[in-house]
Structure 1
Amino acid sequence: DYTYSPGRAPTDYINALAERRTVGERCPSCRKVYVPPRGACPTCGIATAERVEVGPRGTVTTFCIVNIKARSLDIEVPYVYGHIALDGADLALHGRIGGIPYDQVRMGLRVEPVWTEGGRYPDHYRPTGEPDADYDAYKELI
């Protein structure tokens, strides 16, 4: 057990998740939007304060198929965990991908979050039915 004391930027992120929204912050120098926000640009090292809502949909940039059951997760194997670049973000989040057979997940797959009753963050991401994103649209986020 430990106590986590988030700063301003992570608190904004957590509060937005409680409203089923995702926010990041834009760097005033390089203009990249980082999610989750850190309060400073990891590239430029300068303070960030401009809040930007991103998503909720995104693109799978890369993924792995998990074949080993984790003791703390009640998820049947195999399942897929991937990096998801939310629309408007310049950094991919990671999350579980569901609603599709594991062997049909692919780079470029367009996904959206699935929330559970009382969930504090998306349970998983599922396909939107949109055409796959063009590789050039997400190659810098891999």
Structure 2
Amino acid sequence: GPPEQPAPHTGEFENPVTGIVAPARLDYTYTPGRAQSDHLDALAERKVVGERCPRCHKVYVPPRGACPTCGIATTEHVEVGPRGTVTTFCVVNIKARNLDIDVPYVYAHIALDGADLALHARIGGIPYDRVRMGLRVEPVWTEGAPHPDHYRPTGEPDADYDTYKELL
């Protein structure tokens, strides 16, 4: 006759595993394309450059080489910022290995002036509990660094919610 089929599993385990703690490391190589290379080259000159979609006219920073909304190629460079508005943020309370920053600190989405997409950056120069949506910020560059170290308050009045609500 046919071979005997095993009984279905009951879902009960004699010694269930409830969690595993294991160190992990991920090494990878990133090769930027044309749009990202242009963006990185501009950052080296302390400029922030995005690309404008020829159809919807939105400016994306960092550029992707194609409009994420329309799906068509973007090539027109547009300098944005350097100032911007905090659209949303989170308070980080976990110390990251290899990062010499005291906790808590704030990581935020920042809509640079002239951009239609918020980028991610750390907020400094202000106590973490004073950061808020609408806070106007500017980049802080460290000598020799290829990108801003963090963003700090400009002292300008907070931006009105209606000016950044589509960039959350």
State the distance in 1 between where 2:129 and 2:65 align: 38
CA distance in 1, matches of 2:30, 2:91: 30
Cα distance in structure 1, aligned partners of 2:31 and 2:97: 27
Extract unaligned runs of 5+ from structure 2: 1-26
The 3-state SS of whatever aligns with 1:90 is: coil
Give the secondary structure class of the aligned counterpart of 2:106: strand
Q: Which has the larger radius of gyration?
A: 2
1:2, CA displacement in angstroms?
3.2
Where does structure 1 lack aligned partners over 5 or more consecutive residues?
A: none
Query: Cα deviation per residue 1:101-121 (whole Å; 9 max; x = unaligned)?
Result: 000000000000000011110
Question: Where in structure 2 are the equivalents of 1:60-71 lying within 5 Å?
Answer: 60-71=86-97
Q: Does 1:42 align with 2:58?
A: no
**RMSD value, Cα:** 0.7
Q: Residue in 2 aligned with 1:133?
A: 159
> What do residues 3-49 of structure 1 show as CA deviations (whole Å, max 9, x unaligned)?
32211111100000000000000000111000000110000000001
Q: Match of 2:140, as an amino acid?
A: V
- 5 Å matches for 1:1-142? 1-142=27-168
**TM-score (normalised: structure 2):** 0.83
Letter of the aligned partner of 1:73 in structure 2? Answer: L
Aligned residues: 142
The secondary structure found in structure 1 opposite 2:90 is: strand
Secondary structure at the aligned position of 2:31 is classed as coil
Compare the two structures and name the one with the higher strand fraction.
Answer: 1
TM-score, normalised via structure 1 length: 0.98
CA positional deviation for 1:123: 0.3
Greater relative contact order (Cα < 8 A, sep 6+)? 1
Q: 1:121 aligns to what SS in structure 2?
A: coil
